[in-house]
Structure 1
Amino acid sequence: MIAGHFGFAAAVKAKETRIPLWTLMLATAWLDVVFVPLLALKVETIEPVPGSANGYGESIIHADYTHSVVGALVLAAAFGAVAGWRLGRRAGLVLGGVVFSHWVLDLIVHRMDLPILPGNAGDLPRLGFGLWRLPAVSVTVEVLLMVVGFGLYWRAAARIDPKRARLLGGVAAASGLITVVLDLLAV
């Protein structure tokens, strides 16, 4: 879903022109950025689905801190607070929302592996709609998010600087093609 996350960030950039694109891209990936060191420390884990080929969405992710509802809200609030301090209140609120959008998009594709509380405290039911079980549908949703997001971004950029918009269009098209090919190879 990483391309879908970036597509969402590009869509937000189309409306929030004062927020640097790199901060939106970092915000949309923030839960995964924090997840990586916790994965390296074996605090959070990834395990293959039994009997799977380990392709697209073929893992159960135990991101019990970064990808719990409460953990995602805390990470979003912290990111938003720092961004608000540096970029202003509105940018902080928007960027905090973009951070939490990661969890919402993951909810759609993940199997039921997203806890409510950090560390899965209370052993509450885990959440996830499991769209990854349908790789073709999952890839299609991700590609649509990416195309719509980058399309909105391109249109906004074209209004400001048509020359730059042509360059952005080419970069987005090439990136999109690479992402689709990689996603299809993983299916």
Structure 2
Amino acid sequence: MFVGHYAAAFALKGKEPSVSLGMLFIGVQLVDIFFFPFALYGIESLHFEDSHNQVNNFVMEFPYTHGLLASIVWSLAFILLYLIWPSKKKKTSRIALFLGLSVVSHWFVDLLVHTPDLPLVHGDPKYGFGLWQNKHMAFSAELSLLVVCWCYYFFKSQAKSKSRQFFMVLFLLFLIAVNTLNFYVLPASENLEELTINALAAYFILALLAGAFDLKRKEKKPATT
């Protein structure tokens, strides 16, 4: 799962307008942000196996990032970082909670598509509903999640200007295009260093774009009669 994780970011932002969409974009990908460097340095394992599934050739052992318990620990760390980070903006426990939920959401969204490789703690049992075994079903599920949650966010809030509103629509189309390329066009890479660099660049660039396009977006007030 790649852009499908951003569905959770949009849903959480729609529910809590005061939380940063850019930070939610980091939160939903936080465990992957650590997984690729961990795999590169041998802390966790990623190797490649042809025909492992229809979407990618990754065979992964990743209890320290993708175990459910580990996800909760990373979530608490993200909350703590938010609380201690110097900022002039008012910090609330509700925003901290939503940032924490963004991190934990990764495990549950991955559950839909992964073959059974997601542990609770370490080793068996491992879970995954296996949509990656069917490329078209996995793509449709990811696209549906993204569009539904983006619509929830989009219609629960309003931009400062029409141009910002337009750019947020373009951003959705861009995410869909990126996922289409990822599924159907770009060749599979088996260079772990290259994968790590590309993944980290994508996560941070998309978070910066999300934060910029969402800037000063406000909760939509109910129409009065």
Q: TM-score range by the shorter chain?
A: 0.7 to 0.9
> Do the aligned partners of 2:117 and 2:126 also contact (CA within 8 Å) in 1?
yes
User: Deviation at 1:94?
Assistant: 0.8
> Do the aligned partners of 1:82 and 1:92 also contact (CA within 8 Å) in 2?
no
Q: What is the root-mean-square deviation in Å for CA atoms of aligned residues? A: 2.2
- Counterparts of 1:92 and 1:85, CA distance in 2: 11
- Counterparts of 1:112 and 1:15, CA distance in 2: 31
Name whichever structure is richer in helix by fraction. Answer: 1
> CA separation of 1:68/1:53 partners in 2, compared to 1, >3 Å: closer, same or farther?
closer
User: Deviation at 1:55?
Assistant: 5.8
User: Deviation at 1:177?
Assistant: 2.3
TM-score after normalising by structure 2: 0.73
Any gaps of 5 or more consecutive residues in structure 2?
86-90, 188-225
Show the 5 A alignment for 1:12-27.
Answer: 12-27=12-27
Aligned AA for 2:71? A
Show the 5 A alignment for 1:1-187.
Answer: 1-49=1-49, 51-52=50-51, 56-86=55-85, 87-117=91-121, 120=122, 123-158=123-158, 161-185=161-185
- Counterparts of 1:78 and 1:135, CA distance in 2: 34
Aligned AA for 1:34? F
Secondary structure at 1:108 match in 2: helix
Secondary structure at 2:119 match in 1: coil
Aligned length: 182
TM-score after normalising by structure 1: 0.86
Larger deviation, residues 5-14 vs 91-100: 5-14
> CA separation of 1:85/1:93 partners in 2, compared to 1, >3 Å: closer, same or farther?
farther
Any gaps of 5 or more consecutive residues in structure 1?
none
- Counterparts of 2:160 and 2:16, CA distance in 1: 13
